[in-house]
């Protein structure tokens, strides 16, 4: 006899939709999973362009592993370390691991700042790090301000199990989605009017999905804002090493070294190796806090999501190799720059524009507003479904990033080989040219009416997961 478990027997978390798997973000993944593109076995399948993964430098990693077999306890050369590493369970982390990560974080930031290894707290990826910091800083019902557009996974990471709220800080394309003091003040005041206590501000720098960086003036303004309001600042810097052209990346740690008034206890950095090194599967997430109490609490909480000691052992060895790290960072930047250049050129050939201030990340923020039947999010969803089901490209619609303007899409370009990228660009050209050839009015697309839409809704609860191998395609331009 088979028994079915009713939802009323489950906890509120288990029976809720807090993870957001029914969002367009995950719907696109499901379309890819059910019909994945393969160059020979399934050439007409869906190309994954919804996952921000860096697969452009795996050859460098593989060469290093071949030349350093002792880094793994699962090789004849490294087996003598197996016992000590396998039984290690200190949630502070291997000292050599924390030292190597701190040193790597410094190198990625141009050695302009220093990091104390004793403030390094490990977590199971940036997802675990964000949830841990939310638990440390806010109680259920309290809130973080988050500039839009923002990574959909934040809705899951910071809200689902913690009960914390996220309040959007709106930005506009007219100023390239720049974070302004006025917008911060407006969002803060709106929260107060709603009797919501704001505990902090979460920023991503470089931005996901924009692929842009916060300049020094904006960072200083943000520090001034959180200091005046006496709220926390959480800086997601997981794309720090993906900056591939000028200007250089400016970390919040660099701002704190300047002559600026700020209570350091309010500032915290989230980092990982998922994007900069391309290791999402290793689940290496980092919290770096200037607050002793947060470091202590986060370290205790990390017991629920530790990085395996074997991973710590290997990462410590790899990141301690200065020659390799320097070579990797240089080549990664060059390859990202080249891929970005080729992809944006391919889009420009069919008059598709992307955010021009982008110089970082693994994606493009692509403007397809000209292809919308009307300037609405319903029309954006209609176009998105055509792109997925007919053009066979999984790109992510702007509404899932809480963008306030319809027609923007995030396109990931670093998770595929050159051949797949060219296939994606070819599909885009065919789609756009086909529409032009119809010679119909611009707002009467030939696919109009071919799809049924769900009832209109605002996608405030969209949640994106950060891990999924997506091949690059031409409709991808975005940036956590």
Please identify every residue annotated as catalytic: 151, 236, 238, 275
Instruction: With beta carbons less than 8 A apart as the criterion, state whether 354 and 366 touch.
Output: yes
CA–CA dist 159, 153 (Å, integer): 10
What H or E segment, with its residue span, contains residue 122?
strand 120-124
Instruction: With beta carbons less than 8 A apart as the criterion, state whether 150 and 25 touch.
Output: no
**Is the omega angle on the peptide bond into residue 305 within 30 degrees of 0, that is, cis?**
no
Q: What is the DSSP letter of 71?
A: G
Instruction: With beta carbons less than 8 A apart as the criterion, state whether 232 and 266 touch.
Output: yes
CA nearest neighbour of 119 among 304, 273, 298: 298
Write the burial class of residue 246 (CB in 10 Å: 0-12 exposed, 13-18 middle, 19+ buried): exposed
Per-position DSSP letters for 409-426, written without gaps between them? EEEE-SSS-HHHHHHHHH
**Is the omega angle on the peptide bond into residue 247 within 30 degrees of 0, that is, cis?**
yes
Find the radius of gyration of the CA atoms of the chain: 22
């Amino acid at each position: 006899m088979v028994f079915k478990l009713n939802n009323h027997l489950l906890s509120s978390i288990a029976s809720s939709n807090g993870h957001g798997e029914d969002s367009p973000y995950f719907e696109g993944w499901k379309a890819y999973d059910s019909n994945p593109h393969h160059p020979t076995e399934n050439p007409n399948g869906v190309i994954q362009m919804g996952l921000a993964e860096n697969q452009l430098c795996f050859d460098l990693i593989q060469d290093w592993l071949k030349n350093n077999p002792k880094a793994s306890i699962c090789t004849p050369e490294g087996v003598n370390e197996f016992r000590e590493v396998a039984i290690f369970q200190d949630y502070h982390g291997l000292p050599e691991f924390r030292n190597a990560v701190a040193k790597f974080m410094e190198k990625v930031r141009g050695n302009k700042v220093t990091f104390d290894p004793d403030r390094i707290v490990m977590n199971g990826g940036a997802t675990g790090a964000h949830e841990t910091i939310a638990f440390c800083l806010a109680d259920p019902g309290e809130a973080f301000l988050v500039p839009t557009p923002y990574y959909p996974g934040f809705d899951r990471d910071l809200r689902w199990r913690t009960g914390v709220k996220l309040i959007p800080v709106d930005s506009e394309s007219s100023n390239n989605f720049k974070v302004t003091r006025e917008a911060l003040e407006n969002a803060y005041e709106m929260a107060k009017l709603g009797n919501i206590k704001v505990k902090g501000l979460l920023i991503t720098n470089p931005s996901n999905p924009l692929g842009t960086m916060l300049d020094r003036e904006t960072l200083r303004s943000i520090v001034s804002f959180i200091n005046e309001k006496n709220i926390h600042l959480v800086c997601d810097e997981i794309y720090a090493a993906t900056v591939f052209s000028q200007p250089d990346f400016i970390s919040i740690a660099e701002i704190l070294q300047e002559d600026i008034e700020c209570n350091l206890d309010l500032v915290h950095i989230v980092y990982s190796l998922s994007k900069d090194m391309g290791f999402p599967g290793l689940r290496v997430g980092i919290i770096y806090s200037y607050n002793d109490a947060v470091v202590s609490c986060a370290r205790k909480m990390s017991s629920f999501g530790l990085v395996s000691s074997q991973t710590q052992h290997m990462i410590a060895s790899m990141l301690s190799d200065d020659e390799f790290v320097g070579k990797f960072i240089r080549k990664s930047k060059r390859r990202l720059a080249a891929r970005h250049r080729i992809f944006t050129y391919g889009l420009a050939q069919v008059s598709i524009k992307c955010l021009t201030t982008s110089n970082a990340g693994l994606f493009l923020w692509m403007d397809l507003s000209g292809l919308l039947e009307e300037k609405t999010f319903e029309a954006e969803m209609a176009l998105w479904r055509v792109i997925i089901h007919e053009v066979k490209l999984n790109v992510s619609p702007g509404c899932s990033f809480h963008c306030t303007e319809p027609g923007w899409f995030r396109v990931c370009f670093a998770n595929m080989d050159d051949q797949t990228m060219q296939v994606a660009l070819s599909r885009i050209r065919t789609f756009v040219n086909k529409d032009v050839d119809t010679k119909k009015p611009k707002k009467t697309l030939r696919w109009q009416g071919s799809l049924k839409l769900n009832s209109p809704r605002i996608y405030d609860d969209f949640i994106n997961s950060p891990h999924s191998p997506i091949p690059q395609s031409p409709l991808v331009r975005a940036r956590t």
